[in-house]
Amino acid sequence: MPISESSIYPVIVIGGGLAGLTAATYLAQADIPPLVLDADALWTGGRLAGGEIDTFTHNGQEWHFPPEHSVHALWGGYVNLRRLIAQFTPTKLRPSDGEEWVNRWRRDIRKIEAGNVVRGSLIPAPFHYLQLLFRPRFWTGITPLDFLSLPGFLFSIAWTVGFDPLREKSALDGLTMREFFRGWTPNLQATFTGLGANLLAAPPDQISVASFIASLRFYTVLRRDAWHMEFFPSNSAYSLINPLVEYIESHDGRVWRGATAKQIDYQDDVWRITIDDYPNRITRTLYAKNIIMATDAVSAKQLLMDSPTTQPIAKNIKFPSTLSNVVIRMWFSSAPKSGANSGMFTGDSIIDNFFWLHRLYDEFSDWGKMGYSALEVHLYIEEDLLNKDDRHLLILAVDEVQRAFPELKGHFVHGSVRRNSKNHTEFRIPTDDSLWVKTHWQNLYMAGDWVGYDTPSFWMERATVTGIASANSVLEAYQKTTVEILYPAPPEFLARLLGWLVRFIRWLIQPLLHLIRSIYHKRISNL
C-alpha cells in the first residue's frame, strides 16, 4: 500500500537531548516542523534533564530541591550554545566569580583560586599557567624537585599547540593521558591529571592522550579567556531544556516522550521508523523524509546495527565507549566564609569537581539565606569504586569535603547520590571510520557530543554545533537559509606562532621518521 504524503514527516529527530533539541529548534524556526522522539517518558533533555524532587526535613521545615544529572559550566568557547540560549530562552547566564583548585597530596590539602589567575594572567598563552607561580599559596603545593619537570612541561606545551588531533583526525588509540606527563614529577602528575579528569569527565586511565590534548586546546591552553565560565541561574532543565521544548511545540513541532526507535529502513526515498510507544505499550511505524539521529553512542550503535538498511556499513564503524558517573549533593547547616563558587579537586582526592549550589541556583537561595550551604560534587571514578553502595560513596564525599572546608565539620544535614546511567561519552577523536554529521546513508544525519564535525568543541558546545550542522543539511534540502556556525576566537599570537614552529619541525622530521620505521619493519621481517 503506498504511503500517503500527509503521513510523511519532513524530519524526525531521534533523541531529545541538547543535540536533538538544538536541531529541532532551528528547524522549527525555519517552518519545518520536527517530530522529536525521546526515549525517556518523563524527563526530556538527555544529560541535561531534570528528575524527581529531593525532599528532606530540617529543624521542622520541609525543603524541596529540583535535581539534575549534574551542574554544567559554560566555558569561553561555547559560542553557539550561548547564541542558542540568547535566541530561544529568557535565561540570563551568571558569570563565575572564580574557580578554586583544591589539591590533596596524601593528607595535606592546599587551596588556591586558579580561574581568575589563569584568565587574567599577564603572561600570554600558552604559558599563562605560569602566573600561578606568583601566588604564594601555589608554592605550598610544589617542591624544588618539581622544577625537574620543566623540560617535560615545555615538551607537553609544544605538543599541545603543535598537534591538533581533531583537525588531523588522529585518535592515537592505545596511548593514554599518562603519556602527556612523561618527565613530570609524581606530585605535578597527580595535580594535573585531575585537570584531565575534570575536562573529560572520565577516570584518568580511560582518557586518551589525543582527547586530552584536544580538550586542553579548546578549554584553556590556546587563549587566556578560553577559561571563562558562566552558569545557568537554575538547573539546566528549567534554564534551557524546557524553553527549547516550548519553542518547538509552539511552532508546530512535537516532542514525543516515551518513544524509542527500534529499527529504521529506507525505501522509495522515505525512512520507515519502527518505535516502541512506551506509555501506550504498543509498536508504531512512522515515516520521514529525513532523520536526524541524536542519541548517545551506545543507542546509535544498537539502532544502526539492528536495522538492515544500515547494518552492513555500521558494523565497520568505530563507536566510542560510554561511562557512568556519580553526582552527590550535600546540604550543611553552615557555610564557608570565603572561596569561589566552583572548582576542582585534584591529587589524591576521589572528588573531581564541585559547585556551591546556594551561590549559583535560584532554587537554593532560601537555603543559603539561612547561613547554610549546599554543595554538588562529581565523581568520575573507576569501576571498583563506582560499584560501592550509595552510603559508602556519600561518606567518602562528606569526609573529603569536610577536610577541604573544616568549617563544615559537624554540620552535615542531608545527602543525595545520583548515579547517571552509562551513556556519557568516553570521548574519542572522530576518525574517518567514525560517524560524522553527514553519514553514508541518504537523508540520515547525526548529532551529538561524540559525532565528527569540523569543530574544536567539546560536550555541550559540540552537541549544539552538530545539532545546527544536521539541521542545516535538512534546511539545504528544503532550500531554506542555513544557520551560521560560529567558531571560537583564534589562538593568541604567541600560541599561534609556537604552533606554526612545532608543525614546521614535524614536517621536517616526518620523512626521517618514516625512513626509520621502514628500516625497522624491514629488519623485523627479515628475522
Q: Name, in order, each residue with C-beta under 8 angstroms of 97's C-beta and a sequence gap of 6 or more.
A: 340, 341
153-157, 161-165, 362-366, range with the lowest pLDDT: 153-157
- Asked if pLDDT for residue 154 goes beyond 50, the answer is yes
Average pLDDT value over all residues in the chain: 90
Per-residue pLDDT, 516: 59
Q: Name, in order, each residue with C-beta under 8 angstroms of 421's C-beta and a sequence gap of 6 or more.
A: 324
CA dist 114 to 106, 121, 133, 463, Å? 21, 10, 11, 28
Residues 13-28 have pLDDT tens digits of 999 999 999 999 999 9
| Band of pLDDT at residue 76, cut at 50, 70 and 90 | very high
Query: Which run of H or of E encompasses 384?
Result: helix 383-386
Contact 324, 201 (CB under 8 A): no
Per-residue pLDDT, 246: 97
| Residue carrying the nine cell digits 517530530 | 35
Per-residue pLDDT, 527: 53
Per-residue pLDDT, 134: 80
Residues 339-359 have pLDDT tens digits of 889 999 988 888 889 999 999
| C-alpha–C-alpha distance, residues 256 and 332, integer Å | 39
Per-residue pLDDT, 526: 59
Q: What is the pTM of this model?
A: 0.93
The length of the chain in residues reads 527
Residues 494-506 have pLDDT tens digits of 999 999 998 888 8
More confident site: 199 or 525: 199
Residues 405-445 have pLDDT tens digits of 999 999 999 999 998 877 788 899 999 999 999 999 999 99
Nearest Cα residue to 325 out of 385, 375, 374: 385
Contact 36, 253 (CB under 8 A): yes
How buried is residue 490: exposed, middle or buried, by Cβ count under 10 Å (0-12/13-18/19+)?
A: exposed
Residues 296-320 have pLDDT tens digits of 999 999 999 999 999 999 999 999 9
Per-residue pLDDT, 49: 87
**Residue 373 φ/ψ, nearest 5 degrees:** -140, 155
Contact 494, 53 (CB under 8 A): no
Contacts of 383-389 with CB under 8 Å at 24 or more apart are: 385/350, 386/324, 386/326
* Phi and psi based region of residue 162 (left: phi greater than 0; alpha: psi -120 to 50; beta: remaining): alpha
**Residue 438 φ/ψ, nearest 5 degrees:** -90, 120
Residues 254-273 have pLDDT tens digits of 999 999 999 999 988 999 99
In percent, the amount of the chain with pLDDT more than 70 equals 95
Residues 274-304 have pLDDT tens digits of 999 888 888 999 999 999 999 999 999 999 9
